[in-house]
Every structure is written in structure tokens, then in C-alpha cells.
Amino acid sequence: MVHVVALIRRFASGRGLLPPLLLFCLLLALLVLMGRATTNSAKFGQMYIGLLLASATGLGGLALLILYNLAQLIRLYRHRVPGSRLTLRLTGIFALLAITPVALVYGFSLHFLQRGIDSWFDVQVDRGLENALELSRTALDLRMREVLKQTLRVSVSLADDDEQTGRRLDDLLDLGEASELTLFGQGGQIVATATLDPAAILPHPPSETALLQVRQGRNYVALEPVGDAGFHIRVLVPVSSPHNEERQLQALFPVTDRLSLLADAVQSAFDSYRELMFLRAPLKASFTLTLSLALLLAVLAAFWAAFYTARRMVRPLRELADGTQAVAAGQFNKQLAGAGAGSDELGFLVESFNQMIRNLAQAHEAAQRSQALVESQRAYLETVLARLSSGVLIIDQGGRLQTCNAAASQIMEVNLQDYLGADSQWLAVANPMLQEFVTAIGPHLAESGDWRQELDWFGAAGRRILMCRGSSLPDAVGLHGGHVIVFDDITHVVKVEREAAWSEVARRLAHEIKNPLTPIQLAAERIRHKYLKQFDEEQGKVLERGTHTIVQQVQAMKEMVDAFSEYARPPRLQLAPLELNEFVTEVLYLYRDYPAGVEIKLDLTQEPLRINGDKVRLRQLLHNLVKNAIEAIRDGHGSTLWIGTRREHVAGSDRVELSVRDDGPGFPESVLASAFEPYVTTKVKGTGLGLAIVKKIVEEHGGWIQLETPADGGARIAIRLPIFHDGADAPASPAVSAVSLHADKEAAG
Amino acid sequence: MAAASEQRAWLHGVAGALALLWGLLGPSPGWAAGFEVIAATTKLEGGVYRLDARIDYHFSKPALEALQNGVPLIIALEMEVRRRRSWIWNETVYSLSQRFKLEYHALSRQYLVNNLNSKERRGFSSRAAALQFMGQINGFPLLDKGLLGRDERYEGALRAWLDIESLPAPLRVFAYLSDDWRLTSEWYTWSL
């Protein structure tokens, strides 16, 4: 079923040459048969109507298919489908080219047909046949008159005779030419009969009209078919009888052979001619019909051929159009099938198009490759820039920010990506924090060559020291001049350098000062010991006080020098995993009975916080912090110290925060930036090394320290340390892990 | 000039053909042509049903014209015997046809009626006489009673029609399409 539908669809859509060709041949055969049938051939005559119907059905079907195709074509044309316009035009032209000669031939054929059939009939022939018929009639009339006379003679001879009529009739039959003699009596009863035909039992009766005519006294003579023996002359005459009863004599005469033959020939010729003449009009109509059907077939075939040819010619063109559009839309993988294009110019065109597309595709691919290369290089460059710890800015000739890397944004603490393309002057207006930076580098942008400048800058996290290096770019490779500025945050480096210097100073001081202190103390004690007894009470008191002061101050100096040496001492850490909360609780246990006025509150998290640390150093750290805080509280009339721990999760990694907060006076603005530097202190007493040492210990443990001034007063110091992982991250034993960490630290240090 | 006359002739030809088509196919007003069975009945004589019938033949003008011009016309009488059934159509148990050929014999100026079944030929000086002869069926032996079932009810049916198939081919096309040539009578039925 699906097959059949597909076939019909294929047929209807005009694809494929074979089905319409077969249909055409079939219809042609039908028409030929019809033409034969029209010319009265007995064999095809019976089929005429069937042939006519079949042809009409076939042609109707063909016409419907063509109409369907035409409608479809027009619909495509309305929808402006590519190629439909050309198909329609070509179809029109082909159809016109084919139909014009066919119509001309049809016209002439029709004309000649009419003339030809008319010319069969001629007035002369017509008249001649009429005359021949008339002649035959006259000849027969003569014969009839003759046989009438004979019959009348017979009737006279029968008039008186009453007896022996039968024998008499036989005799008369023998004498005359009649083939049958019958005497009818009253009411048409047979009185006597004589016949030459030995097989005949009954005579051939006359018709009622003939009898009626004779009864009225008129003789009847006529040519009549008698039985199946051909035409006879029937003569019926009245016979006078002795008893005055009505009698009729019927005589049947055969027409003489020669006359009969000739008359039959004339009759049949006349009949044929009359029939033909009568059928002239239907015959013409039949021929015209056949001819018209042939014309219709030719026209429809021409239409079909036009459709077929136009489609065939347009298909490669439409494919080309489609292909062109596809290429215009950026599809370079389109290849035309070139079906139906063949090996002519259209085929060549299709092949050329395909070649062109292949070349285009290759070119396109090459372009894409180079673009990808450029992209990857650009990405590479960007990755490198992003990984750089130095900030990089590129400012073009017009002073607009062209490129910046992540480090630049990080150092500047401003997302510079938002300001790409912005004028540097506007940059300063848009973000006041950048103003100083812009002002500082502004003068350099005007000059060419390299420059270098260190600048102080106050960011959100305090004072920063930036090292800027700039260079004007060459006016080439699409850069159009401009400057590249590379800057580093060297605050930390400077601090480390400063701390290293302090360490060195402290070490030397400790070394240089500690040596003479012991002799000074010993000398002072010796003076006291030797001269105290020799002096009187007044002098002794002076000596006592003096030496005591010396010893005490030397002791103080020793402690100071110890502290210095402690600060300068190179790290020798004994790292081991420890639980911070336990550790804090244990250390602060010592402070539980701390002399009055200060309350220490622990705010520790519930969860265990494991870190990798040196217990001794951490204890020192805690002591320093607590001591520092308590002193600050006392100075500032505070009362409470909070110590807290918690776990922080920042940027995908966990860490531990240890915080110490007090409600003392807090740090003055002036020391915030350098609170962790040696010899920075707000206290009357103290070495100024407490927080410096704390910071050192924190850094030794891989953490960092931050000073904060809470909004509700006091001071807060937050220490952040890396958490110790001994689970999935460190499958080996904690000892090994600790050792390896230790080793890492030392390598880093 | 020649082309113009050609064209005119062509137009005439087409117009003539169309007029002829109209004449052949179109209706002929005021002429009630058609055959009609006026009466038909059967009587049982010696165990044989014999048919008596009267049929009126009214020929259309084109048919008469054809006859006059020597075209023989074949007229068929179709007879059937049907078994009556109460709830479905009747069953035809027997059928036969009688065919007459009616033609005009120009030489003798007679209308000849030829019974094609019995080969009997009769000549008539007028068409009316010939038609009357054909229209009178007297004592035609239809069927032996013994061939019919005893307890069944039967009916006879008769109709007359002009055999278009035997017309000359050119005429046949138009005869098929025109009412003038469709002269078939209705079935006339009677109880047997």
C-alpha cells in the first residue's frame, strides 16, 4: 500500500521518465485503435466505446496530474521558492513551443478531414445511383406488368371453371412462369393451390392490406420477400366465379436471375451510399473526436515534457542557489549532488561550485586555525599575566587603561577589569583610592623610555609600598604606543628586611652589651662588699643605694639583652600536632588566680582544632599576648580579656583563628601600621619586643597576625594558623607528616 | 488571405461539428420517443405458456432518419420468467430474447421486418404496418409448464429495446450519449 502511494506520488510529482512515457505510449495505442474503429472495421468497431472511455479516462488522469503539478509549481512560485520562477517560465516556453505547431497541424488536419469526407460525396454519383435505382424499379415494373397480364389471363381461364380447379391450376403453372398459384375463396380460405416447390405444404399467404385492396376490385402487384427465398413478385387479382362468390388468385413469380442480381447490386450500392451519406456527420464528429483526443494527448504530453525538462534543467540551478545561500550563511561543508546535471555545462558548473566550496572550506579552516592559534597565544599570555605576582597595567597613548592582570587588581584592592578602556584621569575620579597612584605615575606617561619609582600608598589594609617600573611601548604591532607599568607590593619585603636588620642589631647588641655587664655587676658588688664596712652609716647608705641601683640596672639590662637575643634567635622549631583548645586551656590555667582587676574569659569552639606547632613557642606567644593585653587593660582601666578560637573556611581551605580581645584603650592610630615592629610600644615600661616576637612565632608557624580595632572599643588581635590534616590528606603516620611539614617549613624559611 | 479563408473553413468545421454534436446529443422537444409494452399476458395451452403482447414502438426523429437512410435497426424483445420471493428480489429463472431487424428497402419502397431468430422476412409498404406487425405477439411459446416449480409463484416480464451495439460505429458514440437513442421500455410484468 505504501509502495503504491509512493509510486503515485512519484508519478504525480513528475519525477522519473518511465511512467509518463508508458502512459503516453498506452494512450497513443488506444488512439490508433480508435482511429481504426471509426473506419468501420468490424473487429475494432465493437471496442470503440471501450477505447473511447479508456482514452478519455487516461487523458483525464494525465490532465489532472498536470494540473496538480501546475498548481504545485504556482504555489512554490507564490512562496518564492528558489528555482520555481525559472521552472515556471521554462515550462511556459516549452509548452508554448510544443503546442503552437501541434495546434497548427490540428487546425489543418481538421480542415482537410472535413473537406476530405465531404469530397466522398458527389451530387453526380448521388443522382446516378438514384437513377440506377429508378431504372431497376422501371425494369421491375415492366416485369410486374407482364406477370400481371399473365395472371389476369389465368384468372379469366379460371373464371368459369368450377370443377377441376386444382388440376387446372397445375396445368396453368406448367404453362406460365409463376412459381406458385393459389386460389383463395370467401374469407381467404384456400380453394386450390399449385406450386413448383415440392417441399411446400402451405402457400405463402398475402398480407391483409393486399387482400383488402383486391376485395375493393383493384389488382395487387408488388415485389415482396417471400419466406427466405428472396424477392418474388406477388400478384393478387379477383376472379369472377359462377356463384358470384368472391375469389382471389395469387400468383408468385420469381424475379429473373439476371434482373434480380442487378437489382440487388443497385439496391445494396444505393443503401451503402445513403448510409454513408447519412453517417457523414457522425463520422466527421468521430474523426474530429479522435483527432481532438490525439491533440489533447500531444498537448498534455508536451506539457509533461515541458515540466520534466524544466525541472531537470532547474534542479542543478536550484541546488546551486541553495549551495550559494548555504555558503553565504557560513556552511562550507555543503557539496552539491549534481543529480540531473549530467556532463553538460550545468554539470561543469556544479563541479566548479563544489571545487570552489572545497577551496573556501580549506581557506576557512586555515583562517580558523590561525585564529585559534592567536587565541591560544592570547590565552597563554593572559594566563602568564594572571599568574604573575606583579601587577601589570597597559595604558595606551590616549591614557586609557587597556590591559590589567589579576595581580594588579589584587594589589590595588580594586577590580580594575571594570575600568578597562577608561581614561586614567577619570579613573582617579571614579575611585579615590587610585588617585594617588594616577598622580604619581602621570608625569611618566608623557615621557618615553624606562622609569622606576617607589611610592607609598595607603590602601584599605594600611600603608603600602609599591615599586613601579614603567616602559613606553614601541609604536608597532598594533600597540600604537602607550605604556606598560609593572608594579609590586614590596611592603612585606621591606618589613622583612627591616626585621632582619633589627635582628642583626639585637644580636650584636646582645653580644656587645652582655659581655661587659657581668664585670660591671661583679665590680659593683665587690665595691659594696669591700667599702661598706669602712664607710659610716650615712656613706654606707649612699654606697648601698648606689651599688644596689647598679646591680639592679645591670640585671635589667641583662634581661633586656636576653629579650633581644631571644628575638634575634634563629628559629628552631619542634613541630608536633596539638589540639589548640586544650593547649589554650592548659596555658591559661596559670592565669586563673591572676592578681585582681582582670577577668579572663575563654570563648573556645566545641570542635577540636588540630594544628602543627611548637608547644614552647606557642606558650610564649600566648604569654606575650596575655601579658600585653593585661598591661593594656590596667593602663586603660578595663576589666575583661576574651580569648577565643574558631574554625574558618575561606577560599576552599580551612584554617584556625585564635583571637585575643580586651576592653582596654585600644591601639592608637599612630602605631597601628607598625605595632608588630620592634621597639614600638605604647607602654611606659617594656622592651617593645612583645608583639614583634608574637608575630615572628606566628610567621614561623606559617600563619599571619592581624591587628583590629573593634567598633565597641578595645583591641583585638587575630592569629590565623593553618589547620593540621591527618586524614585523607596525610595517610602516613602523624609523626612522618609532622616531620615532612617541619622539613617544608625549614626549606621555606 | 489564404490563411484567413483557411481559418474560416476551420472555424466552420468546428462549428459544424459542435452543431452536429448538439443535434445528436441534445434533446428533441415535442417528441415523446420510446418503446412501451401496452399489454402482455400468457395463457396455458397444452402445458405450454404462450405469450400474447402488444408493444408500441415510437422512434425518435434521428432513429427514423437513420432508418430512412438505410441504417438497419435491431429491436430486441426480452422476456423473463421470475420466481417471486417475499423478502428479497425476485429470482430470474428463465429468459430469452427475440430480435427483429427493421430496415428500409429502397428498391421496393418497403419496410422489411426480419425475425433474426426464425429468419422469417416480411415486407410492408408502410412503416406503421411494419411496426404494428412487430408490436403484435400472438401465441408465442414462452415456456413449458413442467420446467416451473409446483408451489412457487411466478411472474412474466417483458421489455423492448433498441440495440445500440449493432449500430454503425460512428453512430454508436452518439447513440450512447443521446436520449434519442435510448428507447428501452420499462419492464412489464404479469402473474404467470
The number of helices, as runs of H, and strands, as runs of E, in chain A is 21, 17
Question: Which chain B residues have a beta carbon less than 8 Å from that of A230?
Answer: none
Residue B13 confidence (pLDDT) above 50: yes
**Which residue is closest to B166 within chain A, CA to CA?**
A46
Tell me if A204 sits within 8 A of A193, measured CB to CB: no
Closest CA to A255 of A177, A311, A316, A372: A177
Residue A722 confidence (pLDDT) above 80: yes
- Return the pLDDT at A45: 58
> Sign (positive/negative) of CA torsion B145, B146, B152, B156?
negative
- Return the pLDDT at A594: 67
pLDDT in tens, A477-535: 566 677 888 888 888 788 778 778 877 877 777 778 878 888 888 888 888 888 888 88
* 3-state SS class at A475: coil
Of the candidate ranges A111-125, A246-260, A589-603, B43-57, the one whose mean pLDDT is the lowest:
A589-603
Tell me if A469 sits within 8 A of A452, measured CB to CB: yes
- What percentage of residues in chain B have a pLDDT greater than 70? 83
Smallest Cβ–Cβ distance between B122 and the set A225, A284, A288 belongs to A225
- Return the pLDDT at B11: 59
The pairing of strands A653-662 and A640-650 is antiparallel
pLDDT in tens, A169-208: 888 788 778 888 888 887 778 888 888 877 777 788 887 7
**Which residue is closest to B106 within chain A, CA to CA?**
A267
Rounded Cα–Cα distance for residues A578 and A573 (Å): 14
Tell me which residues of chain B, numbers 60 to 79, contact chain A at a CB-CB cutoff of 8 Å: 65-66, 69-71
- Return the pLDDT at A733: 36
- Return the pLDDT at A702: 80
- What is the least distance, in Å, from the CA of B17 to any CA of chain A? 6
Smallest Cβ–Cβ distance between A282 and the set B108, B124, B174 belongs to B174
- The string of DSSP letters for A635-682 reads HTT--EEEEEEEEEEETTEEEEEEEEEE-S----HHHHTTTTSTT--S
Q: How confident is the model at residue A684 (pLDDT cuts 50, 70, 90)?
A: low
**Phi and psi dihedrals of A236, rounded to 5?**
-130, 120
Q: How confident is the model at residue A736 (pLDDT cuts 50, 70, 90)?
A: very low
**Which residue is closest to B120 within chain A, CA to CA?**
A227
Closest CA to A287 of B182, B16, B179, B3: B16
- What is the least distance, in Å, from the CA of A231 to any CA of chain B? 10
B96 touches chain A (CB under 8 A): no
Non-local (6+) Cβ contacts of A731 within 8 A are none
Contact B20 A285 (CB under 8 A): yes
Tell me what percent of chain B is helix, strand and coil, each rounded to the nearest 5: 30, 40, 25
Cell numbers given for B94 = 428463465
Contact B172 A49 (CB under 8 A): yes
- Return the pLDDT at A321: 81
Q: How many CB pairs under 8 A join A and B?
A: 120
- The string of DSSP letters for A181-202 reads EEEE-GGG-EEEEEES-TT--S
**Phi and psi dihedrals of A14, rounded to 5?**
80, 15
Higher pLDDT, A20 or A328: A328
The DSSP secondary-structure symbol of A206 reads P
Helix axes B169-177, A18-38, angle to 10 degrees: 110
- Kindly report the number of other CB atoms within 10 A of residue A135's CB atom: 13
B188 touches chain A (CB under 8 A): no
**Which residue is closest to A264 within chain B, CA to CA?**
B107
Rounded Cα–Cα distance for residues A697 and A680 (Å): 17
Smallest Cβ–Cβ distance between B129 and the set A209, A224, A284 belongs to A209
pLDDT in tens, B94-130: 999 999 999 998 888 889 999 888 888 888 888 998 9
Closest CA to A249 of A315, A195, A169: A169
Higher pLDDT, B7 or A52: A52
Tell me if A195 sits within 8 A of A254, measured CB to CB: no
Contact B107 A133 (CB under 8 A): yes
B125 touches chain A (CB under 8 A): yes
Question: Which chain B residues have a beta carbon less than 8 Å from that of A286?
Answer: 169-170, 173
B26 touches chain A (CB under 8 A): no
Across chain B, mean pLDDT equals: 82
Query: How much is the average pLDDT of B3-19?
Result: 56
* 3-state SS class at A1: coil
Rounded Cα–Cα distance for residues A730 and B160 (Å): 120
Smallest Cβ–Cβ distance between A40 and the set B24, B120, B169 belongs to B169
Rounded Cα–Cα distance for residues A302 and A65 (Å): 13
ipTM of the modeled complex: 0.70
B9 touches chain A (CB under 8 A): yes
pLDDT in tens, A694-717: 888 888 888 888 888 888 778 888
Question: Which chain B residues have a beta carbon less than 8 Å from that of A265?
Answer: none
- The string of DSSP letters for A259-293 reads HHHHHHHHHHHHHHHHHHHHTHHHHHHHHHHHHHH
Rounded Cα–Cα distance for residues A704 and A701 (Å): 9
Residue B151 confidence (pLDDT) above 80: yes
Rounded Cα–Cα distance for residues A295 and A291 (Å): 6
Interface-testing mutation among A259, A275, A287, A292, with chain B (most B C-beta atoms within 10 A)? A275
- What is the least distance, in Å, from the CA of A208 to any CA of chain B? 10
Smallest Cβ–Cβ distance between A111 and the set B6, B70, B172 belongs to B6
Contact A285 B173 (CB under 8 A): yes
Residue A585 CB-half CA count within 13 A: 11
- Return the pLDDT at B77: 93
- Return the pLDDT at B75: 93
Residue type, A416: L
Question: Facing residues of B98 across strands?
Answer: B77
Question: Which chain A residues have a beta carbon less than 8 Å from that of B65?
Answer: 278
pTM over 0.80: no
The region that residue A77 occupies, defined by phi over 0 for left and psi between -120 and 50 for alpha, beta otherwise, is alpha
Interface-testing mutation among A104, A136, A252, A288, with chain B (most B C-beta atoms within 10 A)? A288
Question: Which chain A residues have a beta carbon less than 8 Å from that of B124?
Answer: 207
Contact A271 B168 (CB under 8 A): no
Where are the alpha helices (H) located in chain B, listed in sequence order?
2-25, 61-68, 127-135, 169-177
Smallest Cβ–Cβ distance between A282 and the set B12, B129, B170 belongs to B170
- What is the least distance, in Å, from the CA of A175 to any CA of chain B? 28
Non-local (6+) Cβ contacts of B96 within 8 A are B79, B142
Angle (CA) A102-A107-A111 rounded to 5° is 145
Contact B120 A133 (CB under 8 A): no
Interface-testing mutation among B173, B177, B180, with chain A (most A C-beta atoms within 10 A)? B173
Contact B108 A227 (CB under 8 A): no
Contact B170 A283 (CB under 8 A): yes
| Distance (Å) of CA B108 to CA A110, A219, A225, A693, B74 | 39, 17, 10, 161, 20
Rounded Cα–Cα distance for residues A19 and A15 (Å): 9
Rounded Cα–Cα distance for residues A176 and A190 (Å): 21
Residue B148 confidence (pLDDT) above 60: yes
Contact B171 A284 (CB under 8 A): no
Residue type, B190: W
